[in-house]
Amino acid sequence: MAHEVLLVTRHEDYATLTLNRPERRNALSAQLIQEMEAALEALEKETSIRALLVKGAGSTFCSGIDLREVEQMEDAHHPVSVQRLFARLENFPVPTIAAIQGAALAGGLELALHCDIRIATRKARLGMTVARIGLVVPFVLTRKLIEVIGAPATAEILFTGQPVDAQRAYEMGMVHEVVDEQNLDSAAEAWIQKITANAPLALRVIKANIRRCMSRAYDADHKDLDELARQVRQSEDAKEGIRAFLEKRKPVWRAR
């Protein structure tokens, strides 16, 4: 039987998506992104679902996009879009919860940020490390950071490229609760029970209200910034940064 990169579990009134690539620290491969988007599309139609839990198998929530596949995903004709996945998760019709253990880095952090509620273990590390490998956070994903933690904390996260621990993430408003490692599942279950005890129709309209308010608050043209980010992603520095990361060495920047 082929290895399942995503596990979908249906409970009485909620569903769980488990990223199941522990050997790759649950990095977002093209297959995993496709399967997550398909699962969300299917679950959207299930009116019995009142909440969605997103978690990672093993010791890591999600280490970001699989850098072995990042160049292929940059192809305009590639069927996979991580931004489309995040948008679908953000607009999922009922409340969503991310249960974070280990690392939530770069695309892994954005995956968590596009959930409504985030719980982290005390030893979790959360950050946007893309500048360390010569990449840029796209405009819409920068906007999500600012929406959740504000511009000053976003500047700290992006300019330093350094992950923060769970306590600092809590202080920033990046996570709602910090728990001991062994209590992550029970804490997530407690949040789910609080949420699903409420009226299902009310939950869906509350979620829609929140998303509509935020979508209007950050309406700005960004085609020029998207183009600049594309140029950065295709630069020699970006290629060097990814090579250096995969080869476990310090990159040599040349600003070109």
Q: Which of 89, 109, 108, 106 is nearest to 44 (CA)?
A: 89
Q: The CATH number of the domain where 164 resides is what?
A: 3.90.226.10
Residue 153 lies in a domain: yes
**Where does the pLDDT of residue 1 fall: very low under 50, low under 70, confident under 90, or very high at 90 and above?**
very low
Q: Is the model more confident about 37 or about 246? A: 37
pLDDT in tens, 177-206: 999 999 999 999 999 999 999 999 999 999
How far lies 144's CA from each of 43, 92, 152, in Å?
Answer: 23, 16, 13
Q: Mean per-residue pLDDT for 32-50?
A: 96
Identity of residue 146:
I
Q: Has residue 68 got a pLDDT over 80?
A: yes
For residue 81, the enclosing domain spans 6-201
Domain total of the chain = 1
Instruction: Indicate if the pLDDT at residue 77 is higher than 70.
Output: no
SS3 103: strand
In a domain, 224, yes or no: no
Assess if residue 184 is contained within a domain. yes
**Mean confidence (pLDDT) of the chain:** 92
As a whole number, mean pLDDT of residues 163-183 equals 97
Residue 116 lies in a domain: yes
In-domain check, residue 94:
yes
Q: Rounded to whole angstroms, what are the CA distances from 149 to 16, 77, 154?
A: 26, 33, 7
Residue 217 has a pLDDT of 65
Amino acid occupying residue 137 = V
Cα–Cα distances in angstroms (integers) from residue 41 to residues 88, 201, 238, in the given order: 8, 19, 33
- Which region among 80-94, 152-166, 225-239 has the lowest average model confidence (pLDDT)? 225-239
For the record, the structure tokens of 41 come out as 């599309």
pLDDT at 34 over 90: yes
User: Is 21 among the domain residues?
Assistant: yes
pLDDT in tens, 105-149: 999 999 999 999 999 999 999 999 999 989 899 998 999 999 999
Q: For 33, phi and psi rounded to 5 degrees? A: -60, -45
Residue 226 banded pLDDT, cuts 50, 70, 90: confident
How far, in whole angstroms, is CA 48 from its chain's centroid?
25
Is residue 76 scored above 60 in pLDDT? no
Strands of the chain, DSSP E: 6-10, 14-19, 51-56, 96-100, 103-105, 117-121, 125-127, 164-165, 177-179
Residue 83 lies in a domain: yes
Please give the share of the chain, as a percent, with pLDDT higher than 70.
Answer: 96
Split at pLDDT 50, 70, 90, the class of 2 is low
- Distance (Å, whole) CA 234 – CA 67: 14
Residue 90 lies in a domain: yes
Residue 101: per-residue pLDDT: 98
173-178 mean pLDDT: 98
